[in-house]
Amino acid sequence: MRRGLSANIALGATLLFLFVIVILPFYWIFSASIKIPQEIISRTPTLIPESFTLQHYDKLFNASDFPLYMWNSIQVSVGTMIITVVLSTLAAYGLYRLKLPGQNLIFQIILITYAFPGILLLIPLYGMMSRLGLIDTIPALIIINVTFAAPFAVWMMRAFFSTIPKEIEDAAALDGANRLQIVIQIIVPLAMPGVASIAIFAFIMSWTEYMFASVLIISDERRTLPVGLAGIIGQYQIDWGLLLAGATLTALPVIILFGFVGKSFVRGLTAGAMK
């Protein structure tokens, strides 16, 4: 009995510790974004704001290019998410259901791509985009992000498809449905938690991607949020209020997305892990 109580206390303390580690940075960023500049740079940090101001958000929207950066990031992230979901779902279904020559080798090659750091592909991909005339364009970032998001998405969806009984497809085929109708009308709805998982993964990965966005994008009007926020950091001075307000609004879409489909994301990961 005492061992069980001690274990529960230890587990609760561990969860509380992890909760504080995860939540406290977000709270600090938000609380600091509504403080006056003097309180932000004060030698004595305040956990609870002693002042309140929205001047940093006003400056962010009216005196900076933050709205443009956010619009660019939305285009890149939503485009990456849609293309990744469509391509990965069809590819994963083909690798699992269809009898293709060398499909196991193809699947292994897909997984091997994650063994190499993305920076190794920076120069080859830059040369490829340059030849295609896509340097300093939004489509270039979408292509790059899909390239890195699709392998993991295919792996996850393939594991999720394995949990769907094949008899459901056979019954639909007997009713006259073709392969595409089976995928769109039956398989995808049943695999919706997995689809939500790869959609969130692709969105967050492209929303936070910095390296390729900083190299492939040259003009200021096509910068994404990570690159745009990095530009706020000056050589001799940092506007901490502006930077913290931008960080708060950058994290907000991800938090909202998890709020709506977070359960499906967890279910999708669990289904893949169980397989």
DSSP labels, 187-211: IHHHTHHHHHHHHHHHHHHHHH--H
Is the pLDDT at 138 greater than 90, yes or no? yes
* Average pLDDT over all residues of the chain: 82
Banded pLDDT at 28 (limits 50, 70, 90): confident
Phi-psi bin for 116: left (phi > 0), alpha (psi -120 to 50), beta?
A: beta
Q: Average pLDDT for residues 76-90, to the nearest whole number?
A: 93
Which of 95, 113, 81, 98 shows the shortest CA–CA distance to 160? Answer: 95
34 touches 54 (CB < 8 A): yes
Share of residues in the chain with pLDDT > 90 (%): 22
In the prediction, which pLDDT does 273 show? Answer: 45
User: CB–CB of 86/198 below 8 Å?
Assistant: no
Confidence of residue 265 (pLDDT cuts 50, 70, 90): low
State percent of the chain over pLDDT 70. Answer: 88
Tell me which of 114 and 251 has the higher pLDDT: 251
The mean pLDDT of 108-134, rounded to a whole number, is 81
Phi, psi of 36 (to 5 degrees): -70, 155
Q: Render pLDDT for 189-211 as a digit per residue (tens, 0 to 9).
A: 888 888 888 888 899 999 999 99
Band of pLDDT at residue 79, cut at 50, 70 and 90: very high
- Its pTM stands at 0.82
Find tokens 């504080």 and name the residue.
20
CA distance linking residue 117 with residue 114, whole number of Å: 7
Sign of the alpha-carbon dihedral angle for 133, 136, 142, 147: positive
Please say if the pLDDT value at position 214 is more than 50.
yes
